[in-house]
């Protein structure tokens, strides 16, 4: 009986106008916010962290993507808006999914762009309370999203290194 009712419901759903079906699916599925952030690294290995005026702890520059915005473009845009420097993205990003929070973060490695003085950051005072370059082995208190992002990048590096080691055997 249950299978028959399920099949009947699917047939009825299939007869609905496409736009209405799409709206019903969206109502029944969780919505996620999607953001992009950058682990910007200088040549001496120090990484760029920001302290936002409205949050506790230090974080990576980044933020929510605009609808249909490419994550790489959004990551570069957020760094430029928050600290005033252009960056080059390096390698493939990692993705962190926080299903409980309905949040997806695309995390990029980056370095200051050509000709950019990494010490010439200009923070947006409305959003950014402080900007600093930190030794990765002596980081200050981090925002949870930043800690997860750094772990994801480290895991990606470890997996890539392991893959290279296995390929050489």
pLDDT at residue 165, rounded to an integer: 43
| Domain boundaries 31-168, corresponding CATH code | 3.90.79.10
Question: Residues 59-109: pLDDT tens digits?
Answer: 999 999 998 999 999 999 999 999 999 999 999 999 999 888 888 999 999
The whole-model pTM stands at 0.78
pLDDT for res 101: 82
Residue 78 falls in which region: left (phi positive, over 0), alpha (psi -120 to 50) or beta: alpha
| β-bridge pairing 62-64 and 87-98 | unpaired
Of 98, 96, 114, 112, the residue nearest 36 (C-alpha): 96
pLDDT digits (tens, 9 = 90+) for 139-159: 999 999 999 999 999 998 888
| pLDDT bucket at 29, cuts 50 / 70 / 90 | low
> What is the residue extent of each domain of the chain?
1-30, 31-168
């Amino acid at each position: 009986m249950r299978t028959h009712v399920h099949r009947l419901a699917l047939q009825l759903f299939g007869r609905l106008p496409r736009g209405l079906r799409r709206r019903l699916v969206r109502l029944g599925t969780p919505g996620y916010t999607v953001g992009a952030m950058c682990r910007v690294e200088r040549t001496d290995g120090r990484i760029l962290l920001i302290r936002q005026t409205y949050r506790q702890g230090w974080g990576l520059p980044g933020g929510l993507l605009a609808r249909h915005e490419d994550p790489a473009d959004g990551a570069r845009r957020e760094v430029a808006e928050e600290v005033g420097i252009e960056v080059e993205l390096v390698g493939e990003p990692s993705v962190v999914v926080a299903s409980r929070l309905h949040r997806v973060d695309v995390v990029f490695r980056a370095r200051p762009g050509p000709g950019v003085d990494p010490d010439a950051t200009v923070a947006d005072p409305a959003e950014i309370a402080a900007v600093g370059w930190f030794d990765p082995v002596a980081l200050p208190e981090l925002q949870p999203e930043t800690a997860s992002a750094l772990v994801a990048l480290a895991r990606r590096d470890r997996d890539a290194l392991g893959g290279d080691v296995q390929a050489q055997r």
